[in-house]
């Protein structure tokens, strides 16, 4: 029963954590509109596979973070640098792009590797998973035994995959609702990553 509950918790927390606009799910909109559902599935699979080691790392880090806060600070500093670089990259791409073209669409044909790369660069994943695990421990719903951890990890991966597929399936509807938003999607990504970097800097100085 504990394993099944952890699967449900993993699914719900990772599904819910990816609902709000982010670099990962805005990119899936772009891939869906330019390349279609087959590439969306590859992209979502790439991201979900990376969630597996990220979840396992989070399980081990939760104990270490309680004893050594310098680990989290190092991750935050690295995340700031990465998001600044990503912001610059997406801003530069937004200046090149007007509407999707065949040449531009070809950039996303390796959607699986794009998913893996962006998921690895997603510095929010491990801290978010650590927070989830700590919360579950506080309500006495988390077990560090091998089987429950595997079920929790599987739930996280499937929850992430499912929300990305939903974003891809409803990309055209989202495009109609948001007007010019998806036409300038690289600019949106640039703003989001710049905001994350700024927020991380402010948080680092306040601490």
User: Does residue 160 fall inside a structural domain?
Assistant: yes
* Confidence check: pLDDT of 107 > 80: no
pTM over 0.85: no
Q: How many other CB atoms are found less than 10 A from the CB of residue 91?
A: 16
Q: How many domains does the chain have?
A: 1
- Position 158 scores a pLDDT of 96
Range of the domain at 55: 2-82+98-171
Q: Count CA atoms closer than 13 A to 3's CA, side-chain side.
A: 8
User: Does residue 199 fall inside a structural domain?
Assistant: no
User: Does residue 200 fall inside a structural domain?
Assistant: no
Give percent above pLDDT 90 in the chain.
27
Measure Cα distances from 132 to 71, 92, 117, 178 in Å. Answer: 18, 35, 23, 31
pLDDT digits (tens, 9 = 90+) for 144-171: 889 999 999 999 999 999 999 999 898 8
User: Does residue 205 fall inside a structural domain?
Assistant: no
User: Does residue 61 fall inside a structural domain?
Assistant: yes
- Position 160 scores a pLDDT of 95
Please state the separation of Cα 204 from the chain's center in Å.
21
Q: How far apart are CA 187 and CA 167, in angstroms?
A: 19
Q: How far apart are CA 14 and CA 8, in angstroms?
A: 10
**Burial zone of 42 (CB within 10 Å; 0-12 exposed, 13-18 middle, 19+ buried):** buried
């Amino acid at each position: 029963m504990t394993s099944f509950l952890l699967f449900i918790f993993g699914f719900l927390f990772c599904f819910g954590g990816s609902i709000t606009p982010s670099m990962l799910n805005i990119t899936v909109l772009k891939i869906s509109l330019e390349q279609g559902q087959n590439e969306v599935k590859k992209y979502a699979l790439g991201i979900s596979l990376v969630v597996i080691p990220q979840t396992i790392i989070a399980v081990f880090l939760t104990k270490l973070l309680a004893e050594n806060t310098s680990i989290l600070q190092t991750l935050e500093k690295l995340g700031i640098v990465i998001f600044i670089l990503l912001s610059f990259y997406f801003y530069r791409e937004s200046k090149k792009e007007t509407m999707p073209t065949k040449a531009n669409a070809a950039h996303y044909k390796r959607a699986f590797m794009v998913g893996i790369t962006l998921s690895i660069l997603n510095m929010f994943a491990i801290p978010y998973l650590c927070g989830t695990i700590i919360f579950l421990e506080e309500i006495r719903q988390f077990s560090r035994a091998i089987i429950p951890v595997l079920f929790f990890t599987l739930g996280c991966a499937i929850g992430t995959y499912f929300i990305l597929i939903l974003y891809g399936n409803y990309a055209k509807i989202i495009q109609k609702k948001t007007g010019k938003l998806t036409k300038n999607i690289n600019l949106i990504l640039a703003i989001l990553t710049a905001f994350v970097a700024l927020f991380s800097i402010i948080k680092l100085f306040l601490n």
